[in-house]
Amino acid sequence: MSDFKITRSRRNVAWTGAGALIVVAVFAVFPYQFNSGTLNLMVQGFIVLTLASMWNLLAGYAGLVSVGQQAFVGLGAYGVLFLNIHSLPMFTALPIAAIFCGVAAVPLWWLVSRLRSGYFAIATWVLATTVMLVIEKFPSLGSGTGMSLPNTPNLGSAVLEADTYWIGLAVTVLALATVYLLLRGRLGLVLTAIRDDEVAARSSGVRVGSARMLVFVIAGIGCGAAGALLAVSQLIVQPSAVFSVQWTAEMAFAVVIGGIGTIEGPILGTAVYLVLQQTLSSYNAWYLIVLGLVAIVVVLVARRGLWGLADDYLHLRLFPVGYWLWTPEALASRRSVARLLSRTGG
Amino acid sequence: MAWVSAIIQGILIGGLYALFACGLSLMFGVMKVINLAHGDLAVVGGYIAVGVIAVTHLPVLLSFLIVVPLMAILGYVLQRTVLQAALNRSILTTLLVTFGLSVVIENGLLQFINAGSHSLGVGNSIVTGSFKISSQLQIAYLLLLIFGVAVVVLLGLQYFLSGSKYGRMIRAVADDREAAQLSGIDYRHVFGIAAAIAFATVALGGIAYGMYSQFSPTTGTNTIVLYAFAAVVIGGLGSLWGTLLGGIVLGVAQQIGAQISASDQLLAGYIVFLAVLVVRPQGLVARGART
């Protein structure tokens, strides 16, 4: 029986690792090639992709359907504003604000940790609104109207836009790499076990609560980083904008359309989001209407999203976090392959 | 005296919140649907009322005669199509679909109507009038009326669920869907009826809100859905009168908050909600553990 072989992916993925590096390198030279309109759009894409990766981790892997992630978007943005008021450069403030969001996620988790599914969803929503109302009580942070970042770097708009773009790219790459490495490791196995059978996982000694808390805190950091990036790119922080439930709508729809429970899904979903937003940008609210309708149709008709549809034909993993079992026959024929454990197949 | 007035106001506004909450509670109790679009549906009810009044010139207090049946039909159709399809899949799907509906409805209203505020019943003496108990204590007729409607709706629902044939079918399906099916009940039709009732109550809530305050397309997601859930959670799940109690607690908390400072009105309500979540997550009127 020594002929069994287990690999991370059905196909050899050495080239996808190299491919990822090349893609990042290509994205990194964008500021030399494209105008500010394109760069702004890309930064928006970075924000949504970071948010979507985090929401995917929450809903797709940990079973936590949060409708309140805008709490962390807002806290990240206000973190940058607060530090910038105290004359810290805004790009330095960004990582500190993100870490602060992770810290803030701990007490917030304590409030909602006992709730499941719909209750969790609505409690996080109320929590986000409550955080906004508390922030609005500080006149030094602009109360209910918000304020501009007071200490912006004196760089000229082209350099500033390029810097913002590179920071955005770094945040996104870091977010995707974190999610990938987490899911490849022990946490990935724990979350898969919880997703498949929570009671069985618990009785096998899996610490369900602490795994979920870890995911919530990481998602807090990620969404905080996206919010900080938002503040840095807009140079203004307004409570109703940064704490808008629309952020959760965008991240959730990007995940659902791309394919929930896969790392590739949010990337595809964000691309769809950007295309829709650009195509319909002159029709006001239409892009959210279409995005919502597409998301509803996708969850009802193609549960695994666009990436799931592609996966059925390609059996491709850009970010292999599961395992394939090669039986001796399959190794011999390389055609019929049994799937042992794959994140998207569950 | 200002505090007494605030508490009385809060209790009466609790009736409005109970109107929002009872449909939500019913849909969760019967179908396990957490309807994140509930607030937007109330706003839709309000806008339909605006349209109905503009076209038919009905008095605002009678507009429910057209709005409520329309919303009930919408509820039945939505449940039998989209919501049932989501229910057949998973709870996650149901949440995502209702969240999608919420975004689509809100932005649809923004797109096709406008972002401005509307209100119902300006100039109607019952809607805008009040009577004086003392120089500092005034009670608006409208709030009394809304509270009365909420009590009548809850009484009607209780009578309907315990006494009527369809009420018994709804309770049977809620208790044990398979057993009810084996007894020859088409649970999909029963779900549809429960959704129709829930939508009818939320339509009443929408009209009442439109008379009480101004509303815009974003009112549903900014406030109503949160109030409705807060009232359900505070009161305790699955209890009809719990939604009234939850609504009253929320309303009183908000009015007391408003006494401290105007900006604390909403905050006070949500803090009470979060406190209940921490201290007594099963709600004030407990009906077993929640999963």
Residue B140's domain is classified under what CATH number?
Answer: 1.10.3470
User: C-alpha distances in angstroms, A2 versus A72, A117, A325, B96?
Assistant: 50, 44, 12, 45
User: Model confidence over B26-80: pLDDT tens digits?
Assistant: 998 888 888 999 999 999 999 999 999 989 888 888 889 999 999 999 999 999 9
Q: For residue B92, give the nearest of A59, A111, A291 by CB distance.
A: A59
Determine, yes or no, domain membership for B285.
no
Determine, yes or no, domain membership for B291.
no
Determine, yes or no, domain membership for B286.
no
Determine, yes or no, domain membership for B287.
no
User: DSSP class of residue B118?
Assistant: B
What is the pLDDT at residue B160? Answer: 92
What is the pLDDT at residue B30? Answer: 87
If you measure CA to CA, which chain A residue comes closest to B101?
A: A292
Segments of A54-162 assigned E as strands: 147-148
Confidence of residue A9 (pLDDT cuts 50, 70, 90): low
Separation of alpha carbons A68 and A247, rounded Å: 9
User: Model confidence over B81-120: pLDDT tens digits?
Assistant: 999 999 888 888 899 999 999 999 999 999 888 777 888 8
Say which range, A86-95, A114-123, A186-195, B156-165, has the weakest mean pLDDT: A114-123
Contact A296 B95 (CB under 8 A): no
Contact A65 B92 (CB under 8 A): yes
Contact B100 A293 (CB under 8 A): yes
> Per-residue pLDDT for A247 more than 90?
yes
Question: Using alpha carbons only, how large is chain B's radius of gyration in Å?
Answer: 19
In sequence order, what are the beta bridge partners of B130?
B140
Instruction: Establish if A127 touches chain B: CB-CB under 8 angstroms.
Output: yes
Q: What are chain A's domains?
A: 5-345 (1.10.3470)
Which is higher by pLDDT, A116 or B23? B23
Determine, yes or no, domain membership for B173.
yes
Sequence-ordered list of residues with C-beta below 8 angstroms from that of A256, at least 6 positions apart, any chain: A269, A295, A298, A299, A305, B96
Question: Which domain range does residue B104 map to?
Answer: 2-279
Residue B16, both tokens = 């409005």
Q: For residue B96, give the nearest of A256, A289, A291 by CB distance.
A: A256
| Tally of structural domains, chain B | 1
Separation of alpha carbons B201 and B194, rounded Å: 11
* Pick from A262, A295, A229, A316: nearest CA to A51: A229
User: DSSP class of residue A339?
Assistant: E
If you measure CA to CA, which chain A residue comes closest to B89?
A: A300
Contact A292 B101 (CB under 8 A): yes
Contact B108 A303 (CB under 8 A): no
Average pLDDT over chain A, rounded to an integer: 87
Instruction: Establish if B125 touches chain A: CB-CB under 8 angstroms.
Output: no
Per the CB < 8 A criterion, the answer to whether A53 and A208 are in contact is no
Sequence-ordered list of residues with C-beta below 8 angstroms from that of A38, at least 6 positions apart, any chain: A30
Contact A126 B111 (CB under 8 A): no
Place of tokens 């791309």: A258
- Chain A residues in contact with B229 by the CB 8 A cut-off are 122, 125-126
Pick among B107, B216, B250 to test the A interface (most A CBs inside 10 A): B107
Per the CB < 8 A criterion, the answer to whether B238 and A90 are in contact is no
Mean pLDDT of A212-230: 96
What is the pLDDT at residue A10? Answer: 59
Determine, yes or no, domain membership for B220.
yes
Q: What is the ipTM of this complex?
A: 0.88
**Strand, helix or coil for residue A36:** helix
Mean pLDDT of A3-19: 70
Confidence of residue A335 (pLDDT cuts 50, 70, 90): very low
In sequence order, what are the beta bridge partners of A325?
A6, A338
Separation of alpha carbons B274 and B269, rounded Å: 9
Q: CA geometry: angle at B92 spanning B90 and B96, to 5°?
A: 120
Determine, yes or no, domain membership for B288.
no
Separation of alpha carbons B267 and A327, rounded Å: 60
- Classify the C-alpha dihedral A78-A82-A85-A88 as positive or negative: negative
> Per-residue pLDDT for B288 more than 50?
no
Residue B250, both tokens = 């929320």
Per the CB < 8 A criterion, the answer to whether A276 and A258 are in contact is no
If you measure CA to CA, which chain B residue comes closest to A294?
A: B100
User: Model confidence over B119-149: pLDDT tens digits?
Assistant: 887 767 777 778 877 777 788 889 999 999 9
Residue A86, both tokens = 């105290």
The number of residues in chain B equals 291
